[in-house]
């Protein structure tokens, strides 16, 4: 296994037109979930990926498992809960702005994921383990599940923890998010906050200072996502800005950050340096912007521009 990721996926009901949901009558059924987005993107890029989660033993749960399994992701560690339902959320589309999101995930099956559900031998086979702050925000038991995974991976020198804060303030307060997410981040090898997340978590507004905050806590690589401007990265020995890719028409911003994470991990798995891995992340994230849905726009490896060479450029 190249990568294992853990977290909740929900059924996404996306309206077929713009405007307040009170006036919408028709919705398209899709899937939304940061971690499963990363899993699908990496699988399309040619990697072996496992996704760990818990779903309701209901039609929505079976639908999610089947679609993600159909993408080639290993779902052998996806559990079904008879007592709790699969989460659901809605998008509300407004022209010229990011969509409003309405969650119906309280007491979802995924929020009942616990440390006891984690199988150590499964996680030990991965080169990279990808986590997000969303899982820690769902419940106290899911937060403990994250901590167990972190402790398992930290014992193995040949595994790397990748952490995307992915802050969802609808799930908890800024104060709690800051404390819990920074505690997780300091245990991880790679931390990838967005610029606004970095400001909230560190109190710093400049990418260089955000990166330095985590480097001083022991993180090996910090990547600060800068939207259309690309990304900034830093280690103890090198740093640099990696420009983004232009997008002619932005259809849906959801899933771009997850595609970015998948691209970075894919580059590192291929032995590329940091600059080129992040450049691939920018490419995958840009592709996601042009298609509606969470993972629908992610490319397959043979669709990547052949001019995307792994030229070694660092400073």
Check: CB of residue 82 under 8 Å from CB of residue 54: no
Check: CB of residue 292 under 8 Å from CB of residue 267: no
Neighbours of 284 (CB within 10 A): 28
| CA–CA dist 160, 48 (Å, integer) | 16
Check: CB of residue 146 under 8 Å from CB of residue 135: yes
Token pair of 22 as six digits? 């009170």
Catalytic residue among 2, 74, 117, 258: 258
SS3 content of the chain, % helix, strand, coil (to 5): 40, 20, 40
Check: CB of residue 227 under 8 Å from CB of residue 267: no
Give catalytic status of residue 74 as yes or no: no
Q: How far is CA 145 from CA 28, 39, 67, 136, 302, in A?
A: 32, 19, 24, 8, 36
Nearest to 103 by CA among 226, 10, 174, 172: 10
| CA–CA dist 203, 179 (Å, integer) | 12
Which residues are registered as beta bridge partners of 78? 53
Token pair of 136 as six digits? 């820690």
Would you name the residues annotated as active-site residues?
A: 258
């Amino acid at each position: 296994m190249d990568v294992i990721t853990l977290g909740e996926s929900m059924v996404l009901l996306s309206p077929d037109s713009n405007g307040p949901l009170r006036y919408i009558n028709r919705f398209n059924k899709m899937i939304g979930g940061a971690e499963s987005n990363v899993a699908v993107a990496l699988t399309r890029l040619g990697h072996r990926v496992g996704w760990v989660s818990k779903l309701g033993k209901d039609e929505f749960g079976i639908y999610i498992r089947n679609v993600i399994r159909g993408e080639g992701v290993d779902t052998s560690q996806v559990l079904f809960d008879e007592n709790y339902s699969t989460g659901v959320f809605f998008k509300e589309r407004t022209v010229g702005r990011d969509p409003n999101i309405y969650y119906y995930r309280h007491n979802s099956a995924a929020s009942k994921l616990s440390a006891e559900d984690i199988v150590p031998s499964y996680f030990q086979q991965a080169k990279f383990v990808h986590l997000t702050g969303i899982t820690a925000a769902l419940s106290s038991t899911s937060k403990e599940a994250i901590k167990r995974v972190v402790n398992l991976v930290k014992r193995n020198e040949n595994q790397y923890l990748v952490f995307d804060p992915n802050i969802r303030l609808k799930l908890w307060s800024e104060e709690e998010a800051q404390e819990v997410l920074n505690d997780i981040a300091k245990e991880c090898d790679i931390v990838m906050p967005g610029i606004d997340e970095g400001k909230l978590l560190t109190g710093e507004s400049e990418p260089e200072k955000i990166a330095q905050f985590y480097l001083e806590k022991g993180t090996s690589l910090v990547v600060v996502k800068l939207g259309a401007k690309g990304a900034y990265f830093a280690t103890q020995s090198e740093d640099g800005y990696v420009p983004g890719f232009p997008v002619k028409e932005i259809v849906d911003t959801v899933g771009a950050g997850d595609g970015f994470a998948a691209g970075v991990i894919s580059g590192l798995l291929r032995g590329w340096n940091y600059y080129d891995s992040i450049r691939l992340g920018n490419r995958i994230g840009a592709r996601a912007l042009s298609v509606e849905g969470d993972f629908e726009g992610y490319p397959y490896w043979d669709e990547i521009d052949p001019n995307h060479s792994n030229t070694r450029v660092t400073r």
